[in-house]
Every structure is written in C-alpha cells, then in structure tokens.
Amino acid sequence: MPQNPQNALDRIDEQILWELVQDARIQNKDLAQRCGIAPSTVVNRMRRLHELGALRATHARIDLAQVGLPVQAMISVKLRAQAQTEVRRYTDKVVALPHVVNVFHLGGVTDFLIHVACADTSQLRDLVAIKISADPAVVSTQTHVLFEHIAGADHMGRLAGYEQIREPIVAG
C-alpha cells in the first residue's frame, strides 16, 4: 500500500477490500449494502483502489490438481551475486516460467522462494534441474514438495477485518 498519507485507505476502503477477499464475485449492489454506501460510491472507490494499487486484481482460486498440476513445491534459491541487475534478470526469467505460481524475494540466507505446480515429479525434477538451478547466478536450491495446502487467504473469513490483524499479538 502507498505510504503517502493522501492515499491512505479509510475504514470503508478496507471494508471493500475485505469483502472482495471473501468473495471476489460479489455484485456491486451487494458490496454497497454490506459497506453501507451507494453502489456508485463502490464503483468510484474500487476505481481509486485500483489506481492506488491496493486492489491489484480479482480472480478465481483454482484447484491446481483439477487442471492436471497435482504436484506443487516450494523451491528456495540462493544466488551468487546480489547485484540489482542480476537479481532483476533472474526474477524476470523465473516469473516467465509457465509452472511458476508465485515468486517471493526474501531477506536472509535464501534469496527467492518459488512456488511451482507440475504435472508429476519428473516434470518438477526437470523444471528445477533445467530451468531453475542451471542458471549461472544460482549457488543452490532446495525443493520442498507440498503434501497439502492447509490454509490460504480463505482462513481470513473467520476474522472481523484488517483491524483485527493489526492488533498487537499477546501471549496466551
């Protein structure tokens, strides 16, 4: 989210985003009713949220196994150099791979965490060996096969909103 105070999100903006996380297909009139605002206000606010980059996309979450990609893995990657141009080159290369679901650039021992989906373990092995590890910038990789995806954004439905997430974490 933008750090500019002029672009700060208010409670209604956050509620719109929260409702969209729960149901990206919600109709504007229903969203307006849940937020206590007019449908035209929802349209204007959603346009603004897109412009600010707070609302990047609304899309379906699919079961990758149902589309023939039952093998998922997280691949941690350590690069040789941390030169910005080399990191950008590697990022651009990895993001373009068709099996890549998500790419995370990390701080710490691991430079990247790459979430991939493949048809089978042979395809995963080849993807790691031929496309991900073989790059001259890569020092090492570790592949972690996912047995089960337990929680994603779906678990947020039990929360009251972003305010609850921002509350201090206490023991107990």
The pLDDT tens digits of the residues spanning 54-72 come to 998 877 778 899 999 999 9
Classify residue 154: in a domain, yes or no.
Answer: no
Residue 104 lies in a domain: yes
Q: Are residues 78 and 128 in the same domain?
A: yes
Q: Which domain holds residue 122?
A: 64-146
Q: What is the 3-state secondary structure (H, E, C) of 40-65?
A: HHHHHHHHHHHHHCCCCCCCCCCCHH
- What are φ and ψ of residue 43, in 5° steps? -60, -45
pLDDT digits (tens, 9 = 90+) for 1-52: 345 555 689 999 999 998 888 888 899 999 999 999 999 999 999 999 999 9
- The first and second tokens of residue 51, run together, are 């412009």
* CATH code for position 85: 3.30.70.920
Q: Rounded mean pLDDT of 139-165?
A: 77
CA triple 34-15-47, angle to 5 deg: 100
Do residues 50 and 27 share a domain? Answer: yes
Q: What is the CATH number of the domain that holds 22?
A: 1.10.10.10
**Tally of structural domains, the chain:** 2
Shared domain for 68 and 142, answered yes or no, is yes
C-beta of residue 20 within 8 angstroms of C-beta of residue 27 = no
Q: pTM for this one?
A: 0.75
